[in-house]
């Protein structure tokens, strides 16, 4: 009898843990963004859109490598309700960021995280590039550390948009 109770308790613990992992999806943190152009956005204002928050720096080789693909992904999906927010890390000199954005004609929202508050809100991001894909409902779909596999990223975006 005692073994049966222990076995049942074990099954219940595993079932609850599985349920939590399966259904308890993390939500994007509540943050506000101000672009280098002066536009503002927030987690709440972006609900209903699929959003990629990309943490990057002008001194990061992987960030520079991925930027043309981020630009192409943005241009492909923006008409369907997709937004890219590129968050420049606190250590990145603002004039470097502004020069890069102008030179590469980045078509998306670029933010200077001068105090590091946005990086902290997203789990204290330290490594760049780090990207977080957020669904229309504000839940985190996937976190990429390093240059993402763009075939996978684009597939996840298509699925989240409903295309």
pLDDT digits (tens), the chain, 163 positions: 555 554 454 444 444 444 444 456 699 999 999 999 899 999 999 999 999 999 999 999 999 999 999 999 999 999 999 999 999 999 999 999 999 999 999 999 999 999 999 999 999 999 999 999 999 999 999 999 999 999 999 999 999 999 5
Task: Collect all residues with Cβ–Cβ distance below 8 Å to 74 and sequence separation of at least 6.
Answer: 52, 82, 83, 84, 107, 108
- Distance from C-alpha of 97 to C-alpha of 57, rounded to nearest angstrom: 8
- pLDDT value at residue 53: 98
Nearest to 29 by CA among 63, 55, 56: 55
Nearest to 100 by CA among 117, 90, 112, 118: 112
Question: Which domains does the chain carry?
Answer: 26-161 (3.40.30.10)
- pLDDT value at residue 8: 54
Mean pLDDT of the chain: 89
Q: Using an 8 Å Cβ cutoff, are 138 and 120 in contact?
A: no
Q: Using an 8 Å Cβ cutoff, are 135 and 157 in contact?
A: no
Determine the length of the chain. 163
Beta bridge partners of 130: 55, 145
Q: Where are the beta strands (DSSP E) in 14-161?
A: 32-34, 40-42, 50-56, 82-88, 109-112, 130-134, 140-145
Nearest to 92 by CA among 36, 53, 38, 39: 36
- pLDDT value at residue 1: 58
For residue range 41-79, what is the model confidence (pLDDT) as tens digits? 999 999 999 999 999 999 999 999 999 999 999 999 999
């Amino acid at each position: 009898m005692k073994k049966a109770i222990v076995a049942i308790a074990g099954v219940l613990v595993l079932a609850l843990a599985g349920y939590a992992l399966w259904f308890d999806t993390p939500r994007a943190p509540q943050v506000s963004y101000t672009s280098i152009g002066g536009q503002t956005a927030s987690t709440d204002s972006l609900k209903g859109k699929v959003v990629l928050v990309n943490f990057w720096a002008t001194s990061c080789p992987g960030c520079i490598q991925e930027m043309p693909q981020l630009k192409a992904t943005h241009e492909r999906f923006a008409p369907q309700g997709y937004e890219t927010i590129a968050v420049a890390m606190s250590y990145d000199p603002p004039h470097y960021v502004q020069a890069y954005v102008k030179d590469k004609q980045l078509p998306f929202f670029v933010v200077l995280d001068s105090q590091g508050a946005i990086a902290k809100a997203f789990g204290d991001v330290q490594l760049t590039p780090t990207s977080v894909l957020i669904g229309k409902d504000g839940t985190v779909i996937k976190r990429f550390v390093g240059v993402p596999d763009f075939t996978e990223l684009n597939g996840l975006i298509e699925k989240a948009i409903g295309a």
